[in-house]
Chains A and B, each alone.
Chain A
Amino acid sequence: MRISASTAVASGTIVALAVVPPITNALQEPFYLGLFLRLMILAIAAISLNLILGFGNMVSFGHAAYMGIGAYVVGIGTFHAIEDGIDWLANGFLHVPLAIAASSLAALVIGAISIRTRGVYFIMITLAFGQMLYFIGVGLEVYGADDGLSLYMRSEFGGVLDINDNTQFYYLVLALLLATLYGVKRLIASRFGLVIRGARSNERRLAAVGIPVYRYKLVAFMVAGAICGVAGVLLANRTDFVSPDMMHWTRSGDLIIMVVLGGMGTLFGPLYGAAAFLLVEEFLSGITEHWQIVFGPLLILVVIYARGGIAGVVHALERRRE
């Protein structure tokens, strides 16, 4: 049996991620464990953005806001658990559903308005909403305003697992990453997924065959927001810190870069994109603090010469071999 290049790279990436903790633990390099943890969390966020951007052609420029909402659920919850002694507010089994509810509700409101528009207007409206949430965060005096809020404890998952142990936390995130990938794989092949992908290329025709496109796009928008909210819960626990900065439009831009870099509308593209983004950032910022001077042109080259991103390059190699 021949294994295609895409499958080989995808499985290789997952295997590589799975063996990170034993290696970093053996080398006593907890920093790198943290780096890969962040990489996977941002990959989950990028995958959720890809769902609407890559498959549905909705260029949301405020996607980091949902990550911020998820993060603030943890931040505010643990804050009151410690300050006011309300223990149950630190419960991770509460944080996750609450983050999903809050971020999908925000997505419902933002989507209900922005999906009525197209192109640049859609981008600007999602950006405006994202910035609105950013400034709400800045205004939260109780929770540190623009200085943010340090977490004095992480989400508690009872006796099930202890995410204060970064290795356990790592494997939880890896499992969630795989679950997200599998869920998106099912979703894009489902009836719902066909409608969303159809809307990407020809909304007019979709309406003409009898599909009320708006409500499907809105639900896709909410699903993406909900997944990103979960990524926010993870990110807050990973950095032990939340701040409005997580919702800043430049963070949304980073997510878009990851999706474009990795390959829009592909299953594994956002994961590759998040990996490339963080590893290049890590490597270049070790050389110069102006690492973006190198990163910018790199991105331009990808957009010009490799439209399909990393996943597209892998796919092209696969075709050449055949």
Chain B
Amino acid sequence: MSEPILQLRDLTKRFGGLVATDSVTLDVAEGEVHAVIGPNGAGKTTLVGQISGEIRPDRGQIFFAGQPITRSPVHVRSLLGIARSFQITSVFPGFTVTANVALAVQAHAGHSFRFWTDATRDGTLLAPAAQYLELVGLTGRAGDVAATLSHGEHRQLELAMALATEPKLLLLDEPTAGVGGDESARMVELLRSFKGRFTILLIEHDMDAVFALADRITVLDSGRILASGAPGEIRADPAVRQAYLGDAEA
């Protein structure tokens, strides 16, 4: 088996007295969908923050594609191939849907110290942007201002922007959070179509979505890994059932 694309080694992060991430050691293999579940406050988003680079761990190391990135800034990790979507929608609200994605394309198309040419009519940015919008099913809203999108459409846009950076690893922080039943099912369907094409680290609350998508599941509780394994193993794990799944399945 080839080396895991993402390796977390003994990662620890404290906020005052609270240990948000407690000695987490975790591998994500290339091509897999790895779900991280756990109750509210288990430290899932903090974990994503450390992988994407917004939060510095107090201890431990992160390797991406064999390279240590523990101290690399956010934009460097993005350029290396780590893309994230945010739990709370984070787009450029005043830009059009297309411009949002085009800016993500631009970020990976060399430097942006280009002061004169009109980027809003640049085919080398717009064509890929249109492609990613089609992939997530937002083509119909391409010309609209992002602020006018519905919540579900915002999540789709988030995804298109992450994909536009041509990532090797997608960090998806609750892609179906706050999205209604229909839109949520469509998002799960969309993510399912990504299986095998992208490596995904998925944070999710919706257990149906998790079991539909994940190749492996890691259960986090109070910052610590409670269990990690195939969906079947996790479902059967007594500790997990007691701590977490029991409530969800009841």
The chain A residues found within 8 Å of chain B, CB to CB, are 186-187, 189-195, 197-198, 201-202, 204-213, 216, 219
In the complex, B188 has a CB within 8 A of chain A? no
From residue 97 to 122 of chain B, which have CB atoms closer than 8 A to chain A? 99, 102-104, 106-108, 112-120, 122
Given contacts A209-B78, A212-B75, contact A190 B107 (CB under 8 A): no
Do B103 and A186 touch (CB < 8 A)?
Answer: no
Q: List 26 A–B pairs whose Cβ atoms lie within 8 Å, in order of A's numbering.
A: A186-B115, A186-B118, A187-B115, A191-B114, A191-B122, A192-B113, A192-B114, A193-B115, A194-B103, A195-B106, A197-B92, A198-B92, A198-B103, A206-B107, A207-B73, A207-B74, A207-B75, A207-B78, A208-B52, A208-B54, A208-B74, A209-B165, A210-B108, A211-B107, A213-B75, A219-B113
Q: Complex Cα distance A190/B118, Å?
A: 5
Chain B contacts of A209 at CB under 8 A?
78, 83, 103-104, 107-108, 161, 164-165
Is B246 on the interface with A (CB-CB < 8 A)? no
Knowing A204-B90, A205-B90, the reply to whether A210 touches B119 (Cβ < 8 A) is no
Quick check: B90 and A191 within 8 Å, CB to CB? Answer: no
B112 touches A211 (CB 8 A): yes
At the interface, yes or no: B91 with Cβ under 8 Å from chain A? Answer: yes
B105 closest partner in A (C-beta): A209
CB distance from A126 to the nearest CB of B (A): 23
A201 to B118, CA, bound (A): 20
Q: Nearest chain-A residue to B84 (Cβ)?
A: A208
Residues of chain A lying within 8 A (CB to CB) of residue B127 = none
A202: min CB distance to chain B, Å? 5
Asked whether, in the complex, the Cβ of A202 is within 8 Å of the Cβ of B92, the reply is yes
Chain A facing B: main interface SS: helix
Q: Give the 9 A-B residue pairs with the shortest CB-CB distance, closest first.
A: A210-B78, A210-B107, A207-B74, A209-B104, A191-B112, A191-B114, A191-B119, A209-B107, A212-B75
What's the minimum C-beta distance from B115 to chain A, rounded to whole angstroms? 5
- The reply to whether A194 and B118 form a contact with Cβ atoms under 8 Å apart is no
CB distance from B240 to the nearest CB of A (A): 31
Contacts of A190 in B (CB 8 A): 114-119
Q: Which of chain B's residues 78-98 have a Cβ closer than 8 Å to chain A?
A: 78-79, 83-84, 86, 90-95
Number of B residues, CB within 8 Å of A? 36
- Those of B108-163 within 8 Å (CB) of chain A: 108, 112-120, 122, 161
Q: How far is the CA of A175 from the CA of B52 in the complex (A)?
A: 48
Bound CA span A198–B93, Å: 9
A212 to B77, CA, bound (A): 11
**How far in angstroms is the closest Cβ of chain B from A30?**
38
Cα(A193)–Cα(B120), bound, Å? 10
| Alpha-carbon gap, A192 to B92, bound state (A) | 15
- A187-B115, A201-B92 given; A194·B99 CB < 8 A: yes
User: Do the beta carbons of B86 and A205 come within 8 Å of each other?
Assistant: yes
What's the nearest-Cβ distance from chain B to residue A263, in Å?
A: 15
Instruction: Name the A residues within 8 Å of B74 (CB-CB).
Output: 207-208
Q: Bound state CA distance, A207 and B107, in angstroms?
A: 9
A205 to chain B: which residues have CB within 8 Å? 86, 90-92, 161
Partner of B117 from the list A191, A202, A213, A216 (CB cut-off 8 Å) is: A191
Instruction: Report chain B residues within 8 Å CB of A210.
Output: 75, 78-79, 104, 107-108, 165
A201 to chain B: which residues have CB within 8 Å?
Answer: 92-95
Nearest residue (CB) in B for A212 is B75
| CA gap between A210 and B72 in the complex, in Å | 12
In the bound complex, CA of A204 to CA of B73 (Å): 12
